[in-house]
Amino acid sequence: MTVIVRDVRPDDRRDAEGFARVRHLALPFMLHTPESVAYDATHAHPDAHYRPLLAEQDGEAIGTANVGIVHDSPEADQGYLNVYVAPDNTRRGAGSLLVRAAEEHLTAMGATKLFAWVLDSPANRAFAEKHGYRASRSAYFLRLDLANGALPPRQALPPGVELRKGSDYAADPRPLFDLDAETMADEPSDVPQEFTDYEAWLQETWNHPLFSPELTSVSVVDGRPAAFSAARTDGGTRYGTVMTGTARAHRGRGLAKLAKNDSLHRARAAGFTEAFTGNDSGNGPMIAINRWFGYEICATEVRYVRELD
């Protein structure tokens, strides 16, 4: 009955399956597959010092943590740990063991400020605060019933605007990297990030097994990407929007909404039945747009932070 914590072995299919299973049970609003777990473990940037952890009891995975350094932040020494335990396996000590192992790793890597996402519940909040973390902000998970919901109709494109698929840029994704980098810089966050490493972006975004260039939609103005909606899928029936944004020079024209609507329509036509996305709770305009599409808030996550002495 002893709970142990160890590293995920990315070449062990059983480890990857156990990690993905626990994450699906604890966090069904995000997409995880054994393939994505193994890929993340083997393709993370070296400076991230990324370390996925498993908590096991009698050989069964009951808890997980993904741990690392925010390597693409201009602010040094920022670490993260996101701990999730399967709902039927809480109160066995797995969460505390995962936090301890994660903090030891991050401290050894020189992190002095640690960030963690925690699903909003009295028990989870108490757990985070017991370990010395304080709440800083919150975000929503949203779900859309693609199978039975009614999407807004496709709209006529403004003059000079066309819609393309992300896969149209397969030969040279650099224009999408440039757009992603610009929009990411304006995302609400307590940890600023800068996309400056194109090769890292190819590894972590473009080539990721969950990423779907085919279902990613791009609004193009005068031949250049101006807005986009990036899609991921789990290879089954679940679809997720991981980023929707517009270049600064083209904001206020509804171009991101056009791209996202196009992607959602094509996802439904391809047989996907559930769509997920996330919003910072203070991002009113994007929440309103997602409600216009038919998304409903299905969970809240709270960002916690701990500054080490």
Q: What is the pTM of this model?
A: 0.94
Q: Are 3-111 and 144-300 the same fold in CATH? A: yes
Domain ranges of the chain: 3-111, 144-300
Positive or negative torsion for Cα 186, 190, 192, 198? negative
pLDDT digits (tens, 9 = 90+) for 98-127: 999 999 999 999 999 999 999 999 999 999
Please give the average per-residue pLDDT across 176-196, as a whole number.
Answer: 83
DSSP codes, 121-145: SHHHHHHHHHTT-EEEEEEEEEEEE
DSSP state of 220: E
The torsion angles phi and psi of 297, rounded to 5 degrees, stand at -65, 130
pLDDT at 96 over 90: yes
Q: What is residue 3's predicted lDDT score, i.e. its pLDDT?
A: 96
DSSP codes, 55-109: EEETTEEEEEEEEEE-TT-SSSSEEEEEEEE-GGG-SSSHHHHHHHHHHHHHHHT
The rounded distance, in Å, linking the Cα atoms of 181 and 33 is: 26
The rounded distance, in Å, linking the Cα atoms of 173 and 170 is: 6
Helix, strand, coil proportions of the chain in percent (round to 5)?
A: 35, 30, 35
pLDDT at 190 over 90: no
| Residue 288 CB coordination number (10 Å) | 10
pLDDT at 152 over 80: yes
> Which residues are registered as beta bridge partners of 232?
211, 240
Find out if CATH 2.40.70.10 is the number for domain 144-300.
Answer: no
pLDDT digits (tens, 9 = 90+) for 200-254: 999 999 999 999 999 999 999 999 999 999 999 999 999 999 999 999 999 999 9
Give the SS3 label for residue 113.
Answer: strand
In this structure, what token pair is assigned to residue 302? 């709270």
The rounded distance, in Å, linking the Cα atoms of 65 and 84 is: 6
Positive or negative torsion for Cα 88, 93, 95, 97? negative
* Homologous superfamily of the 3-111 domain (CATH): Gcn5-related N-acetyltransferase (GNAT) (3.40.630.30)
Q: What is residue 76's predicted lDDT score, i.e. its pLDDT?
A: 80
The rounded distance, in Å, linking the Cα atoms of 26 and 96 is: 16
> 13-26 and 34-43 are packed helices; what angle lies between their axes, rounded to 10 degrees?
110
Percent of the chain with pLDDT over 70: 100
